[in-house]
A and B are shown apart, each in its own frame.
Chain A
């Protein structure tokens, strides 16, 4: 576990760079993390996905898989791959949304 400063806020990240404490997340952090993942501007569609990720995490204890995102977030799977081109949409969106890595429910 490491402590990093993102957009002026100290946050705890695990070894893979996922948030340990989702409560430490802010929208400014999301903007900064998105840049680090090659997304210059967070569009409304991005925010829809990020907010859905956080809602799912707080309700279910884990972020959704890409299929659930495609079914329920209001953004199609095809669009998800365009919105988050680097490293797979579910994982990248989880990073930017400040939630732990989706468990895939083992």
Chain B
């Protein structure tokens, strides 16, 4: 490795040009541009197998014709600041011992620091029968671009029957999206006058609507209000469908959940090259990572951001965004031979669309579960409560994503650490007051 003080730029290679890779590259670029010291120079390379940057939160809206599939994709390269090099190539493997990334045609990229930002992929083959005869006929997913479009076309013609929304296993990207899908489906079919002829079922491996108890209680109540059936502790072993009639999900414990249309969120895994790289990933190809510094446990000069890491945080864009600040700081510290900053606290927040132009907002971290109150302070967006303001926040976010978050700007009032002002502690009464002046920290 080149040491500080030499004039040769240190090589930072970032694998993945999605949310994490892009914002990391741009943050690093800004950071080193401002230093303006030749002994601090770095080269920044981003590698991705294609040039299509997908705004993943948009996928939820495609099946309900609320988002144009073409408008949620932009070129990856154009999201990167000048001075960042983009390489479009598939990754064969990382040779950790040699500090080299081997690309598909044998080309090698040496690195001083490697950032793994290749996210999570859908492991369709892990569930028996999922991509069988029923696939894209009456078994769908909206967790990729093509699937979301297929599902949109199917919902367009669905007027009667039983829709089952099923999470095969956790962790998944945006863990609230399947719930949001249920809420939006309720709204969508209500608007079309078919709701009375359609059953909506939510089948989850969890023991409630969500993992965190306070949010879970609130979301279970919402499912109930909207007449959505909840099936808990259901671990999908097999999907049975001939594509020509009703199908059935079969649990490992033998329970069966019949459907006319299944919306399945498949098991997720890390990128395939992680599995081909000796010592890099765990059994699902996620990279073992320190949850507070974001340094991998594989090698000190490998860092991980976003869905690719095995940290016990949500696989969500907000997590990736909040991680970015600590990650880029730590890359600089590592290159300078300093101790790392261990301050990432697992902060996540998400808007949860609940249909009919409303949304909830939740905000939490490794230690603190989502609470009621307001974000980011006593005056702000209502937490854990349906409101029109939150829905507008969610819609506005797409623009913030392309123009604020990806370029690596700090967003006003939304810092990496979870705010606690404006929140009520879980020890407070369980029926929270709703007027802002009654909230306290």
Contact = CB atoms under 8 A, between A and B. Distances in A.
Given A72-B283, A105-B315, A67 B212 contact: no
Contacts of A78: 252
Nearest to B235: A66
Given A67-B267, A72-B283, A88 B235 contact: yes
- The DSSP consensus for interface residues of chain A is helix
Interface residues of B, number: 27
Closest 3 CB pairs of A and B: A105-B171, A104-B170, A106-B211
Contacts of A87: 233
B169 interface: yes
A7 to B, nearest CB: 26
A77 interface: yes
A65 B205 contact: yes
A105 B291 contact: no
A14 to B, nearest CB: 10
Nearest to A78: B252
Contact of A106 (B126, B212, B283, B288): B212
Contacts of A59: 288
B170 A105 contact: yes
Interface string B50-65: 0000000000000000
B224 interface: no
Contacts of B175: 106
Contacts of A88: 233, 235, 253
Nearest to B366: A61
12 contacts: A61-B291, A65-B205, A66-B252, A71-B283, A81-B252, A103-B211, A103-B312, A104-B211, A105-B171, A105-B315, A106-B211, A106-B212
Given A81-B253, A103-B312, A105-B313, A65 B169 contact: yes
Contacts of A67: 126, 169, 235, 267
B284 interface: yes
Contacts of A81: 252-253
A67 B235 CA distance: 9
Interface size class of A (residues with CB under 8 A): 20 to 34
Contacts of B310: 60
B206 interface: yes
Contact of B205 (A60, A61, A68, A104): A104
A71 B233 CA distance: 19
User: Which of B175, B253, B288 gathers most chain A CB within 10 Å?
Assistant: B253
Contacts, number: 59
A4 B206 CA distance: 26
A91 interface: yes
Nearest to B210: A106
B411 to A, nearest CB: 22
B46 to A, nearest CB: 26
B171 A77 contact: no
A60 B212 CA distance: 19
Contact of B170 (A61, A65, A72): A65
B107 interface: no
A84 B240 CA distance: 26
Interface in A47-104: 59-62, 65-68, 71-72, 77-78, 80-81, 87-88, 91, 103-104
Interface of B: 126, 169-171, 175, 205-207, 210-212, 233, 235, 237, 252-253, 267, 283-284, 288, 291, 310, 312-315, 348
Contacts of B291: 61
Contact of B283 (A61, A68, A80): A68
Given A66-B235, A66-B252, A105-B315, 16 more contacts: A59-B288, A60-B288, A60-B310, A67-B169, A72-B283, A81-B252, A87-B233, A88-B233, A103-B211, A104-B171, A104-B206, A104-B211, A105-B313, A106-B170, A106-B312, A106-B314
Contact of A105 (B126, B283, B312): B312
B266 to A, nearest CB: 12
Contacts of A103: 211, 312
B82 to A, nearest CB: 37
Contacts of A61: 291, 312
Given A81-B253, A104-B171, A60 B312 contact: yes
A74 B252 CA distance: 17
A96 to B, nearest CB: 17
A72 B283 CA distance: 7
Nearest to B172: A105
A51 B397 CA distance: 44
Contacts of B210: 106
Contacts of B252: 66, 77-78, 80-81
